[in-house]
Amino acid sequence: MPQGLTDYLNDLRAKRPDEFVVVKDEVDPAFGITMTVVKTEQEKKKRPVFLFEKVKGSAFPVLTNLHASRARLASAMGSPPKEMLKNYFAAMEKPVPPREVNTGPCKDVVLKDGQVNMLALPQIVHHQGDGGAYITAAISFAKHPDDGSWNCAYNRLMITGKDRTSVHLTLGKHLWEYYKIAEARGKPLEVAFAIGVHPAIALGALAIGSIDEDERAIMGALLHEPLELVRCETIDVLVPAHAEMILETEIVPHETVKEGPFGEFTGYSLGARQREVVKVKAITHRKGAYFHDITVGHLDHMLLSTVPMEANLYRAVRAMVPSVAAVRVPSPFTCFVSIEQRLKGQAKNAIMAVFGSDLYMKRVVVVDHDVDVFDDREVNWAIATRCQPDRDMVVVSGARGSDLDPSTAGEDGFTAKWGVDATAKPLLKDFTPRHSFPEAAWNAIDVAKLKL
C-alpha cells in the first residue's frame, strides 16, 4: 500500500471527488480554517477534506478535516467501515515491524541551524481565546532513554518562537515517562514530530497498549506492509519516510513556558499552564508539502481517536469477559459496552476492565447484548429499566484521569470515575421479557408496498 498522504489523497480524489474541496481564496489562519470546517458541517451537513491553497502569512497550503469520515478512515486501512474495529484489533494482535530505508520524500528539503523558522509555518489559531498558534497534527516519535523501545503519540505544540514551541505531555502517559527519565539525568529527550501522514499511520499512532508496545508496528499492520522509516538529520530518531514534514526537536530538561489557553476535544477552552519547552533543531519536508491541521474539538479530531480507543477497550474487556459483544466511545471520557452476561457480576468486571485500560475513561455503562450501544436511546432505555442506582453504580474516588477534564478544577486530572451496570438482573434470560412479535407475522409485513 502507498504510504504517503498525497498517495491517499490522489486515490480519494479519483474515487470520491465530492469529498475533496479546494479553497482557492486566501484564508486567514486565525479562525478562518476552523470556522470554514465547522460551518460547512453545521449548515451543509457535509464533512469533506479541505485544502486551503493560499494561507495568509505562509507558503504552505493547509489540509484539514481529513479524518472526519469513518468511511475515509476505513478506506485508509483497506477495510469496510463495519469491519474497522475487527481489523484494527487484528493489527494490534499481529503487528508488522518497520523497515529502515536510506531516504524518502520527507527529506526533499532540509532546513537546519539558522534556516529553522517555525513562524514560516501556517500560524493556525483554532478558537477564540487560544493562547497562540498551534500545531495539532504532530505525531511524536521517541526512543526510551534506557531500553530503546519506541513510542508514538499525538502531542499539541504551541509555537512560541522561530525555533521554540511548548508541548503538552499528558501526565502519566508514555512520552511523559520518557521525558521524566531523561530530565532526571539532566538531559533533553530527542523527539521527532511527523506532520502530514497517511491516515493508517495516524490511526496506528493512537494505539493504546503497554509502554513496550511499538505503535510503529501497528502502523505497518494497518498499511499491510512494513512502515518505511528514515533517520533524522540532527537527532537519533527514525521517522516515516513519506511524511509531508518532520520537526527534529529536543524537549528541554527543567524548563517550562506558559502554554494555552486552548480549546480542546472536550468542547472547553482550558486555561494556561506551565508546559515543557521544545527546541526545534531542524525542519525537513516534501517539495510542495501540505501542512496538515486537525480541526481540534470537532469530528476530524474525535473520529480519529475513537477507533483505536474502542479496539483497545474491546481487547481489555474481552480479557475479563470473553463474551463481550461491542464497545463504543460516544463522547469524551465515556464508554458503552455490551456483553452476553453468562455469570452474575461480569458487568462490574467489564467496568473495572475499562477503567484499568484507559486513563481517560471516566464513565462506563455496561448493557446486555440485546441492546445496541450505537443507539443512545437504547442505552438510556436500559439504564432506566434494568438499573437501580443504589445497587448498580460503581464509584471510584481518587483516581488518575485526563488533565484535560475541566471538571477536575485545578486538580489536573485527579478525578473520580463511575460505572453503571445496566444489565438485566440476575441475568437476561431470567428478566422480564421485552416486547416481541411472532416471527412469521413479522416477515409477512412488506413495508415496501406502503405509500409512505
- Which pLDDT score is estimated for 36? 96
**Do both 272 and 337 map to the same domain?**
no
Query: Structure pTM?
Result: 0.86
Q: How far apart are CA 263 and CA 370, in angstroms?
A: 38
Q: Is residue 270 part of a domain?
A: yes
| Range picked from 251-260, 291-300, 411-420, 438-447 for highest mean pLDDT | 251-260
Burial annotation 257-267 (CB, 10 A radius, 16+ → b, else e): bebbbbbbbbe
**Do both 154 and 107 map to the same domain?**
yes
Percent of the chain exceeding pLDDT 90 equals: 76
**Do both 124 and 256 map to the same domain?**
yes
Number of domains within the chain: 2
Q: How far apart are CA 309 and CA 107, in angstroms?
A: 32
Q: For residue 25, how many C-alpha atoms fall within 13 Å in the half-sphere facing its CB?
A: 5
**Do both 276 and 338 map to the same domain?**
no
Q: Is residue 113 part of a domain?
A: yes
Q: What is the CATH number of the domain that holds 374?
A: 3.40.1670.10
- Nearest Cα residue to 142 out of 203, 92, 214: 214
**Do both 228 and 282 map to the same domain?**
yes
**Do both 233 and 175 map to the same domain?**
yes
Q: Across-strand partners of 153?
A: 140
Q: Is residue 133 part of a domain?
A: yes
Q: How far apart are CA 75 and CA 377, in angstroms?
A: 29
**Do both 197 and 81 map to the same domain?**
yes
Quote the domain boundaries for residue 120: 70-291
Q: What is the CATH number of the domain that holds 133?
A: 2.30.110.10
pLDDT in tens, 347-378: 999 999 999 988 889 999 999 999 999 999 99
- Which pLDDT score is estimated for 148? 83
Q: Is residue 437 part of a domain?
A: no
Strand runs labelled E in 260-368: 262-263, 269-270, 273-285, 291-293, 324-328, 334-339, 363-368
**Do both 116 and 197 map to the same domain?**
yes
**Do both 76 and 149 map to the same domain?**
yes
Residue 230 has pLDDT above 90, yes or no: yes
Q: Is residue 99 part of a domain?
A: yes
Q: Is residue 16 part of a domain?
A: no
Residue 402 has pLDDT above 90, yes or no: no
**Do both 124 and 238 map to the same domain?**
yes
**Do both 347 and 403 map to the same domain?**
yes
